[in-house]
């Protein structure tokens, strides 16, 4: 009997010696497939196209983004929705995706499916995002902008002063830079 035929017979015939190894191998293959599927879903849901696939986003905040320095600027560097709203580290990314399930629910029930509904909730939505950014020291901003790499001497005098004061007082990016990409909610002050 050839070694190949012997190998095929061993695989096809039940064996008392190998069931654990076969189950372990099969489990590993299933786990790997599930992990790769999970990674693919994480990647696909972290794209600009996915973010604006809801007409609520396309007709509101995406239009604001298109007129912002994050979309068009002299350097040609572009930040997209996920760059600002989805962490890059695995753990925080998974947590953010879990929290985003609420967004899917609200899309399904039409919470902000018109401009009027969106504008009525703009302040609440903005405050939630700002609180999230404050809680993580504007982590997503810092993937592109970091005090350590800023050329402070090349900044305008007011920016130099404000950045120095922000560092001294423990402020985070969002404390001063709200409205950079999206319109601020109207204030009732």
- Mean local confidence (pLDDT), 14-20: 66
CB 180 within 8 A of CB 69: yes
Angle at 99 between CA 94 and CA 101, to 5 degrees: 105
pLDDT given for residue 101 in this prediction: 87
pTM: 0.74
pLDDT level of residue 100 (50, 70, 90 thresholds): confident
* Residue-wise pLDDT tens digits, 61-90: 999 999 999 999 888 889 999 999 999 999
* Residue-wise pLDDT tens digits, 45-63: 999 999 888 777 888 899 9
pLDDT given for residue 54 in this prediction: 79
Higher pLDDT, 32 or 13: 32
**C-alpha span between 123 and 169 (Å, rounded):** 26
Looking at the predicted structure, is the pLDDT value of residue 17 above 60?
Answer: yes
CB 117 within 8 A of CB 111: yes
pLDDT given for residue 77 in this prediction: 86
pLDDT given for residue 35 in this prediction: 93
pLDDT given for residue 62 in this prediction: 92
């Amino acid at each position: 009997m050839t070694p190949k035929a012997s190998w095929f017979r061993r695989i096809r015939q039940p064996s008392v010696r190998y069931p654990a190894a076969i189950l372990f191998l099969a489990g590993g293959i299933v786990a790997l497939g599930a992990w790769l599927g999970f990674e693919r879903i994480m990647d696909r849901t972290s794209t600009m196209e996915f973010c604006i696939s809801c007409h609520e986003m396309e007709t509101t905040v995406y239009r604001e983004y298109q007129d912002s320095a994050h979309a068009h600027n002299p350097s040609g560097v572009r930040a997209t929705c996920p760059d600002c709203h989805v962490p890059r580290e695995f753990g925080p990314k998974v947590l953010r995706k879990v929290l985003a399930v609420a967004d899917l629910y609200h899309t399904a029930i039409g919470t902000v499916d018109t401009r009027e509904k969106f504008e009525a909730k703009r302040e609440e939505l903005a405050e939630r995002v700002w609180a999230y950014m404050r809680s993580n020291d504007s982590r997503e901003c810092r993937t592109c902008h970091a005090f350590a790499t800023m050329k402070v001497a090349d900044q305008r005098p007011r920016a130099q002063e404000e950045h120095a004061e922000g560092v001294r007082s423990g402020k985070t990016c969002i404390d001063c830079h709200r409205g950079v990409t999206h319109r601020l909610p109207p204030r009732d002050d």
